[in-house]
Amino acid sequence: MTNCALVSLIRRIAERASSDRLAAMSVQPPSSTPTQTQSRTNRATVITLVVIAVILAVLAAVLLQNVASRRHQAAATSQASSSASDSAAAVPEPEPAPPVADQQTLELIHSEIHRDPADGQAKGKVDAPVVMVIYSDFACPFCTRFAQEVEPELDKLVKEGTLRVEWRDLAQITETSPLAAQAGRAAAKQGKFWEFHNAVYAAADPKDHPSYTEDSLVDFAKKAGVPDLKKFRTDMTATETVKAVTESTNHVHSIGIQGTPFMIVGETYINGYRDANYVTAVVKSQAAKAKEAKAATGAASPTSPAAPASAH
C-alpha cells in the first residue's frame, strides 16, 4: 500500500471515529441535577412570594377595617356633637295650653278672675297681665306637689309683676278638707294666708292625703306667724267660714270643675298637675298674648280730634 493510500485510510478511520464520538455525544441525555435544583429553587421562591402576598393582604384588610372603624366613630361623634349643639342652641319649650275658642267658656273664665284688692287669698299685682286662679285642696297630694315644686317658680313671675295668683277652695278630698280650707280663710283674715298655705304644704307628703285637726291647724298657724291664734281658732270654726267654704266648693262643681289642682291661666286653663316648666311656659305665653292684645287695643283706639284753629 502506498503512502498516499495509507494516509487516506488513516484519515477515514479518524473521521469515522470522530463521527461516532459526536453521535454518541449527541444521543447522551443531559445531566438532570442542575434542572431539579433550579426547579426546587423556583418553587420555594413562588411559595415565599405567595406567603408574603397573603400576609400583605391580611395587613391591608386589617388597616382598612381600622380606618373604616375610625371614620365611623368620628362620624358618630360629629353627629352626636352636632345634635348636642342643636339641642343646646334650641331647647324645645313646652307646648302652651290651647286657647279657648268657645265664647261661653271664655266668658266663664273671665268671670272667675276677680282682681279684688281686698282678696286675702290672692297675691301679686291687681293689674298683672296674667291672673292664675287655682282651685285646690290642702289634702290633695298633687296639690302638694304643685305647691312644693311649681309655686316657687311662679313666685318669681309674681315678684316681677307678670302674674297674680288667686286661690279658690275646692275642699273635697277628705273629711277634714273643709276644716283645712276654713283654717286658710281664718289665716287670710289676719293677712297670713300664703304663709299658712306654705306651712301646711311643706309638712304634707305628696304621696298621701293628710288629715287635720283644729289643734294641728293652730300649730300651722303659729308656724306661719298668725299673730292672734285665739281669733284664728274662732274664725276657723265660725258659721260664716264654714258656709263660705261650702259655697265655694259647690260653686266650683257647678262650673264643671271636679278635680284638683285646676288652674285658669289668663284665657286658658290647665287641668291637673303639670310641672314648673310647662306652667311657666303657659303663663309667659298668656303674658305675651295679653301684651299683643293691649297693643292692638291701643292702636285701634281713635285719636283725639285736633282742636279747631282759633279765628282771628
Provide the pLDDT for residue 308.
40
Is 145 in contact with 260 (CB distance < 8 Å)?
A: no
Task: Indicate whether 153 belongs to any domain.
Answer: yes
Domain boundaries, position 155: 119-296
- What residue has cell string 284688692? 117
Task: Indicate whether 165 belongs to any domain.
Answer: yes
Provide the pLDDT for residue 61.
60
Provide the pLDDT for residue 56.
65
Classified as helix, coil or strand, 269 is strand
How far is Cα 70 from Cα 77, in angstroms, rounded to an integer? 10
User: Going edge to edge, which strands form the sheet with 163-169?
Assistant: 122-123, 163-169, 130-136, 262-265, 268-271
Provide the pLDDT for residue 35.
54
Provide the pLDDT for residue 222.
98
Task: Indicate whether 170 belongs to any domain.
Answer: yes
Task: Indicate whether 86 belongs to any domain.
Answer: no
Task: Indicate whether 58 belongs to any domain.
Answer: no
CATH number of the CATH domain containing 157: 3.40.30.10
Task: Indicate whether 89 belongs to any domain.
Answer: no
Cell of 264: 285658669
Number of domains within the chain: 1
Task: Indicate whether 42 belongs to any domain.
Answer: no
Task: Indicate whether 39 belongs to any domain.
Answer: no
**pLDDT per residue rounded down to tens, the chain (312 residues):** 544 444 454 455 445 544 444 444 444 444 444 455 566 666 667 677 766 766 666 566 656 665 555 655 555 444 444 444 443 333 344 556 777 878 999 999 999 999 999 999 999 999 999 999 999 999 999 999 999 999 999 999 999 999 999 999 999 999 999 999 999 999 999 999 999 999 999 999 999 999 999 999 999 999 999 999 999 999 999 999 999 999 999 999 999 999 999 999 999 999 999 999 999 999 999 999 999 998 988 765 554 444 443 333
Dihedral class, residue 132 (left if φ above 0, else alpha if ψ from -120 to 50, else beta) = beta
Angle of helix 193-203 relative to helix 177-188, nearest 10 degrees?
140
